[in-house]
Structure 1
Amino acid sequence: VFLLNSSTLLLTRHFSKSSAARPGELWDAVVLTAADAAQAGAFREQLAEKLRREQLPRAVRYLVCADPPGPRIGNGGSTLHALRCLEEQYGDQWTSFTVLLIHSGGYSQRLPNASALGKIFTALPLGEPLYQMLELKLSMYIDFPRHMKPGVLVTCSDDIELYSTGVTEAITFDKPGFTALAHPSDLAVGTTHGVFVLDPSSFSGKGGLEYGSCYRFLHKPDVETMHQSGAVCVRRDRPQLSSPGSCGDSAVASECVYTDSVFYMDHSTAQQLLHFYKQMGTLGCEIDAYGDFLQALGPGATPDYTKNTRNVSKEDSGLVAVRQQLYSLLQGTALNVIVLNNSQFYHIGTTQEYLFHFTAESKLRFELGLQPVAFSICPDSARTLDQLSIIQSILEPGCVIGPGSVIEYSRIGPEVSVGKGSIVSGSYINFSVDIPSECFLSSVSVKMADGVEYVTMVFGVGDDLKKSVKSLSDIHSLRFFGASLPECLDLWSLEASDQLFSSEDTRLGLWTARIFPVCSTLSESVRMSLNMLNSVQHKSAFKVSGFQLLSVEEMLTYKDVEDMLQFRKQIYDEICLQRQKEKSDYRMNGT
């Protein structure tokens, strides 16, 4: 019995249409974290729209909590700040709440079509109307509140956990301290996740669901550390912990580790963390909800990790001190583990993962029943292709979409061809064009002095938008669709200077490069950006120096959420009309 199936999703929609739910049946509060006030505003607008359309359970309190202004505080800081928001919003009432806290405040640099409106509102190729990640999260965890003592379940906006248990088994969160779900994973997966060193006396490896305790939590460990710590299990007919330091005979059996996904903290632990946050006043550094909370837990925890800044994106002077204080606070707190032996953890946070899970023969696509064409109007010729994903879009007869491509929230004209493995998002293409393979194209409405205007970002799907260099002499290492950035700038008649980059600090990268022209119409902005890409591909000049240019970073600052949602709504309304027409035609023909 997989936890998630179409009936579970329909149940979420059922709760959306009725305000009646038995006490404890739904979450008391669902909290979305946001990186800043602008992102929080975008989330609130989308929540309001979804509630208006009866796509979310109405009996739940929805709270959007923006990180405080100033230095970034990481998802650990966001967790602490969200606890404060809960207390400010609901007073003592929240002490009895079951809370789902979804970390949704990233800028989504590795999946930029989700940057403007948020990863938690990423559309899935499923449902009429479409399901987004938020409904998927609510559906996946639909049974949890009924088996949970007051407390907070912490999850991310871009991962999916599917598991099967016995019909009578339920996942219960009723122990003090922290409780985490654990999934069997290859050792390679363990190097990029949290890994549990399970207490052998509490773990047998039998059955689909097992409650155990964790001796120690490792954050993104290397393979050697996993072996030395006793985290590695040997999978024969069932997982068994190998002794610490042994390498196992992988020729006979495969090795696995148990990796993290979501975790729960009971209310008194949440209260402890909130008290700590209030005492701190401001954090001033990025802390990790997984690395900095969970590594302090369990009898085998040591403070060594507090000084290890290997996995930190930006080292802050106060980080080690804050970690040490958190360690002192949480040391001795239990880390309970719910081992899900028949489970699968999926991540959809990068362009590659997004394309793979939505268009290839992925297990996730099969398990969720993801559709090649979801809530869209498109010619029959496109419907015969299985290896693509058309999501709430209108495609006119004549257009050609290559295999492995995703089109979402777009209008595609008859003379458009899209190559293989591309992503087109929020765009209107009403002119003749060949979009190359592995192209990433995403349009954003922006509020400028003259009103609403449009900018379209274009990249290669494999381009690294997170990469940055510190000086102009190093920008040749930045690659745009296979070419070095200085080569591209020459073709576009742009000068490499500090003014070319929007970042206040010295982060020079594709994310902060002011290269995308602001245009008065959506289709014109798409045309301009595709011309820029074409010039790079064919090494032919295309001058953009006469335009106002924005970086992706600035697009998000100036984004006009209302206009973007309006464009989506026009597509939505048109599809609904078409569906009604099809139904009435069907009835007419049937009589």
Structure 2
Amino acid sequence: MPAAGGRSAARREATGRRLARFAALRGRAARPGQFWDVVAVTAADAEQALGYRQQLAGKLSREELPLGTRYHVFVDPPGPKIGNGGSTLHALRCLEDLYGDKWTTFTVLLIHSGGYSQRLPNASALGKIFTALPFGDPVYQMLELKLAMYIDFPSHMKPGVLVTCSDDIELYSTGATETVTFDRPGFTALAHPSDLSVGTTHGVFVLDPSGSSGEGGLEYTSCHRFLHKPAVETMRRCGAVCVRRNCSQPSSSGDHSGSGVGSECVYTDSVFYMDHSIANQLLMFYKQMGTLCCEIDAYGDFLQALGPGATQDYTEITSNVTNEEPRSVEVRQKLYSLLKGTALNVIVLNNSKFYHIGTTQEYLLHLASDSKLKFELNLQPVAFSIFSGKAEALAGSASVIQSVLEPGCLVGPGSVIEYSRIGPEVSVGKNSIISGSHINLKVAMPSDCFLSSLSVKMNNQVKYASMVFSVEDDLKKSVELLSDIRSLQFFGVSLLECLDLWGIKVSEQLFSSGSTRLGLWTARIFPVCSTLSESVRMSLKMLNSVQHMTAFKLNGLKLLSVEEMLAHKDVEDMLKFRKQLYDKIHLQRQKEKS
């Protein structure tokens, strides 16, 4: 465990208090005003929404969430991607459809979780908001952590909507008499002191000249202008860079703040609140638009319109948009006109940290190394699992979550095992991720290995497929021409060479998605098998053939891409496997107690 400075220790203590308050509410009805009136999670499509609803229902039946709150999953309308801003607008419409004018009296937590998690594929099938964390009994997932970290907010909030994302964690400490209060008209955002390099990938607040002293737990101020993923020169030119005695700077590890003396910093964004007056204006805008034909960013397109220094220049910059649509500039300009002149209040949390766990590297760093997050959340090396092997079989920085590890297996440093069964003759290398798998063969898995198994429904039968990659592989990278696929890499080897080893021909049929996106995400390379353990065995043999450059032919087998595995996923069967693990672990614990 890392040596903790005073700030980190204060965050750990404050976090512990919030977790205890949330734990006391699980399975109980909160008093009026004590908890959220509505908790809403967004989903990208009907299939994802169905999986989310099943998991929410399971949590409620097991009394893992506070009762009396309205929990909803709102699915994006079919058609083009609308971004988290479009999802926000659509969620407001869903709330009005469900509750009429009554929704304007609610405190609403809106969690965006509509992506396919291509950079952290073990969260792809069941959702980033249901990513497991190594603590709690039963284990906490990101949803419970979010609810716990925001436990103080509803009782200090006027009716309105708090918007957050599903793959970040905000930890903070304030003074004994200080409270985070959302009671001002317009928008109110939380701000975290961060290194300038962090600012280039986040939103950055240009605070009013009186600004923040950088001292104390929190300060209320207003924002002159909001910059979205600005260059360092832009931050300097616009007056966003501050020098604070107590300012915090991150390490290169991805922690978004630390301790620095007299160092430069900027204040970066995380969650934001909007009162019901603004939410209604946005809802009216959405109704007038009819349907959205382009992506809208809740941060870039809402917040950049705010504050007295806002200009509409940003509406024509589309570099941050995944798919540029012909009407995107027009829609963004209309939003700017709607929101121009609206206040952006800022709550500066001087002793705070923003952690992102949206990639395999971030996930491994924060969960399975001696990170500050591990200290501040008191993450455990073995969380709700059976592991009765010798202590040296589990490296100190590894993390095991709701899994059964048989005596004799070895887990390398910096690796995460979640929702899996690992046999006695299995050796897992360092910095690896094993998720939802059953490995019962003799195998020495390489380091930096990513293995995740899915249940799939094929011709009304439950089958299994396991994806295997390097944690460094870029699943978002794609090419347009078949002749360019030699640039795609699988575990450091050209995909073209791998296909040759596996006996897979290069053709238009090699990729799903109608061959419009040729990449690891859409490559049909993973065999469909009748059992979970067999699918793991086949995928590990594929990997072994690449590592040793020996042939392992997949001719005649039904092969799926990751994209197709997700399209055919059987959420019910995956949750059934997790329940079997839960029951086995729970029974073992009962025996140990008696």
Map residues 464-503 of structure 1 onto 2, 5 A cutoff: 464-503=474-513
TM-score relative to the length of structure 2: 0.95
8 Å CA contact retained: 1:4, 1:139: no
Aligned twin of 1:205: 214
Which one-letter code corresponds to 2:310 in the other structure?
A: A
Aligned twin of 2:172: 163
Q: State how far apart, in whole Å, the 2-side matches of 1:238 and 1:397 are.
A: 48
Deviations 1:559-587 (A, max 9, x none): 00000000000000000000100000xxx
Q: State how far apart, in whole Å, the 2-side matches of 1:188 and 1:414 are.
A: 45
TM-score relative to the length of structure 1: 0.95
Deviations 1:494-543 (A, max 9, x none): 11112111113621111111111000000000000011111111111111
8 Å CA contact retained: 2:213, 2:244: no
RMSD: 1.4
Q: Does 2:21 align with 1:11?
A: yes
8 Å CA contact retained: 1:9, 1:135: no
**Selected match of 1:29 from 35, 38, 46:** 38
**Selected match of 1:527 from 521, 528, 537:** 537
Deviations 1:9-57 (A, max 9, x none): 23323222222x2211000000000010000000000000001111001
Shift of 1:288: 0.6
Aligned twin of 2:462: 452
**Selected match of 2:398 from 350, 370, 388:** 388
Q: State how far apart, in whole Å, the 1-side matches of 2:381 and 2:49 are.
A: 32
Q: Does 2:152 align with 1:129?
A: no
Map residues 33-112 of structure 1 onto 2, 5 A cutoff: 33-112=42-121
**Selected match of 2:126 from 104, 117, 133:** 117
Higher mean displacement: 198-207 or 43-52: 198-207
Q: State how far apart, in whole Å, the 2-side matches of 1:181 and 1:148 are.
A: 14
Shift of 1:309: 1.1
Aligned twin of 1:243: none
Aligned twin of 2:328: 319
**Selected match of 1:518 from 518, 522, 528:** 528
Shift of 1:206: 2.9
What is the SS of the residue equivalent to 2:26? Answer: helix
Q: Does 2:536 align with 1:547?
A: no
Which one-letter code corresponds to 1:473 in the other structure?
A: S
Q: State how far apart, in whole Å, the 1-side matches of 2:261 and 2:566 are.
A: 52
Which one-letter code corresponds to 1:475 in the other structure?
A: I
Which one-letter code corresponds to 2:587 in the other structure?
A: L
Q: State how far apart, in whole Å, the 2-side matches of 1:211 and 1:545 are.
A: 64
Which one-letter code corresponds to 1:569 in the other structure?
A: K
Which one-letter code corresponds to 1:278 in the other structure?
A: K
What is the SS of the residue equivalent to 1:17? Answer: coil
Name segments (4+ residues, structure 1) moved above 6 Å: none
Map residues 94-493 of structure 1 onto 2, 5 A cutoff: 94-237=103-246, 253-382=262-391, 385-493=395-503
Q: State how far apart, in whole Å, the 1-side matches of 2:67 and 2:132 are.
A: 20
Q: Percent identity?
A: 74
Q: State how far apart, in whole Å, the 2-side matches of 1:180 and 1:581 are.
A: 49
Q: State how far apart, in whole Å, the 2-side matches of 1:237 and 1:306 are.
A: 35
Across the two proteins, how many residue pairs are aligned to each other? 572
Shift of 1:236: 2.9
Q: State how far apart, in whole Å, the 2-side matches of 1:153 and 1:225 are.
A: 28
8 Å CA contact retained: 1:13, 1:54: no
Q: State how far apart, in whole Å, the 1-side matches of 2:72 and 2:464 are.
A: 30
Aligned twin of 2:584: 574
8 Å CA contact retained: 1:410, 1:424: yes
Specify every segment of 5 or more residues in structure 1 that has no aligned partner in the other structure, as ranges.
240-250, 585-591
Q: 1:382 to 1:283 in 2, by over 3 A?
A: farther
Shift of 1:385: 3.2
Deviations 1:440-471 (A, max 9, x none): 00000001105000000000001000111111
Q: 1:551 to 1:334 in 2, by over 3 A?
A: same
Q: State how far apart, in whole Å, the 2-side matches of 1:238 and 1:129 are.
A: 37
Q: 1:181 to 1:252 in 2, by over 3 A?
A: closer
Q: State how far apart, in whole Å, the 2-side matches of 1:483 and 1:387 are.
A: 28
Q: State how far apart, in whole Å, the 1-side matches of 2:435 and 2:135 are.
A: 17
